[in-house]
Amino acid sequence: MEKLNPKAFWIFFFRFLFRGLFLVIFLAIWLASFLTQFGGKTTFLWWLLPFFVLYLIFCWTWAKLTYRFWRYQLTEAAFKKEHGVIWKKYVSIPYERIQNIDIRRGILDRVLGLSTLFIQTAGYSATYYGRGRAVGIGAEGYLPGLDRNVAEQLREELIKRAKGNKQGL
C-alpha cells in the first residue's frame, strides 16, 4: 500500500488545529471566569496558555497518527484505501463505478506543493437515507496530501483503468 506525501502531516495538523480552536478558547475563558468567581485571582492569558499548549500537543499527535494510518493502493479490480486511527475505514472502489476524478489544490496545498484527489462514483455523490435527507454527498475516494506529480499520474491511471473496464478491455 502506498503512503501519502510526508507533508500531508501539516494538512492534517492545521485542519485539526482550526476545527477545535474556538472550542478550546471558549473552554479556557469559561474556566477562567468560573474560577475567578470563587475568589481566585488570575489573568486571562495564564489560563488560556495551558489549554492551548495541550491542544497543540493533541493536534500534533493526532495528525501524526492520521498520516501514519492513511494508505491507498491500485489493484487489478479496484482502487483501495484505508484510514482511521481509532476506527479503521476500508474503501474499495471498482474501476467501473468511477465517474469523475478531480484534483483540487487549496492554499495550504499550494504552499506545500501538494494536491487532493477526489474520486466520484456512481451512486455515492447523492445517497439518500430516510426523510429525504441527503447523506454522503461528496467523493467516495478522497486522498489528501498527494504530491502534484503523483496526483496527476494517479488520475491518468484511474481514468485509463475506468475507461478500459467500461469498454470491456
Residue 95 sits in a domain of what CATH number?
Answer: 2.30.29
Of 4-8, 61-65, 95-99, 132-136, the range with the lowest mean pLDDT is 132-136
Predicted pLDDT at 30: 77
Provide mean pLDDT across the span 118-127.
Answer: 72
Based on the fold, state whether residues 162 and 85 are members of the same structural domain.
Answer: yes
The domain total for the chain is: 2
The residue type of 91 is V
Based on the fold, state whether residues 63 and 145 are members of the same structural domain.
Answer: no
Q: Is the pLDDT of residue 75 over 90?
A: yes
Q: For residue 92, give its domain range.
A: 74-166
Query: d(Cα 69, Cα 8) in Å, to the nearest integer?
Result: 12
- Beta-carbon contacts of residue 44 (< 8 Å; ≥ 6 apart): 29, 32
Based on the fold, state whether residues 121 and 80 are members of the same structural domain.
Answer: yes
Based on the fold, state whether residues 83 and 132 are members of the same structural domain.
Answer: yes
pLDDT digits (tens, 9 = 90+) for 23-45: 877 877 777 777 777 665 555 55
pLDDT digits (tens, 9 = 90+) for 78-90: 999 999 999 999 9
Predicted pLDDT at 107: 94
Based on the fold, state whether residues 49 and 81 are members of the same structural domain.
Answer: no
Based on the fold, state whether residues 149 and 111 are members of the same structural domain.
Answer: yes
Predicted pLDDT at 29: 74
Please choose, from the candidates 130, 146, 128, 162, the residue with its C-alpha nearest in 3D space to the C-alpha of residue 70: 146
pLDDT digits (tens, 9 = 90+) for 131-163: 555 455 567 888 999 999 999 999 999 999 998
- This prediction has a pTM of 0.79
Predicted pLDDT at 146: 95
